[in-house]
């Protein structure tokens, strides 16, 4: 199954991505390239909407982990929303959940992103 990557927001501090399909060894390089192009030293929030993601493999997890570490080093955070129960279970199994902010839906994630932007705007 292919992976569709839709960048729904990209500015200096925030990148928001919607993933659809399968994030596996065949498609992970596409996401890696897209995020490498979008996430800069100024990025403080990377939000990934997984509402339409059907599958994630270890190759997909590697991309997520890499971006968690990158953002953490620069004082930012990676967050996800819309995980299906099966994808959530994968994340729980690899114990990534403490370093990842998970939202129940896109609205909750947008509120969080707005708060982050407001905080950095006032700094």
- In this prediction, residues 32-39 reach a mean pLDDT of 95
Alpha-carbon gap, residue 54 to 23, rounded angstroms:
8
Can you give the pLDDT at residue 117? 54
Angle between helix axes 28-38 and 58-73 (nearest 10 degrees) is: 20
What digits encode the pLDDT tens for the residues 9-27? 888 899 999 999 999 999 9
Q: Are strands 77-81 and 45-56 parallel, antiparallel or unpaired?
A: parallel
Number of domains in the chain: 1
Alpha-carbon gap, residue 81 to 68, rounded angstroms:
15
Range of the domain at 63: 3-122
Element (H, E) at 45: strand 45-56
Can you give the pLDDT at residue 97? 59
Q: pLDDT-derived band of residue 112, with 50, 70 and 90 as boundaries?
A: confident
- In this prediction, residues 85-90 reach a mean pLDDT of 85
- In this prediction, residues 62-72 reach a mean pLDDT of 94
SS3 112: helix
Q: Does the structure show a pLDDT above 90 at 69? A: yes
Report the chain's mean pLDDT, rounded to a whole number.
86
What's 83's domain CATH number? 3.30.750.24
Alpha-carbon gap, residue 123 to 80, rounded angstroms:
25
Q: Does the structure show a pLDDT above 70 at 116? A: no
């Amino acid at each position: 199954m292919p992976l569709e990557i839709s960048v729904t927001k990209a500015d200096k501090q925030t990148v928001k991505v919607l993933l659809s399909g399968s994030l596996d060894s065949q498609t992970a390089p596409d996401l890696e390239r897209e995020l490498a192009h979008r996430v800069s030293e100024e990025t403080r929030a990377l939000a990934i909407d997984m509402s339409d993601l059907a599958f994630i493999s270890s190759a997909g997890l590697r991309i997520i982990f890499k971006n968690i570490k990158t953002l953490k080093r620069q004082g930012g955070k990676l967050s996800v929303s819309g995980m299906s129960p099966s994808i959530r279970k994968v994340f729980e199994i690899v114990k990534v959940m403490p370093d990842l902010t998970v939202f129940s839906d896109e609205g909750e994630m947008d509120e969080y992103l707005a708060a982050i932007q407001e905080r950095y705007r006032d700094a």
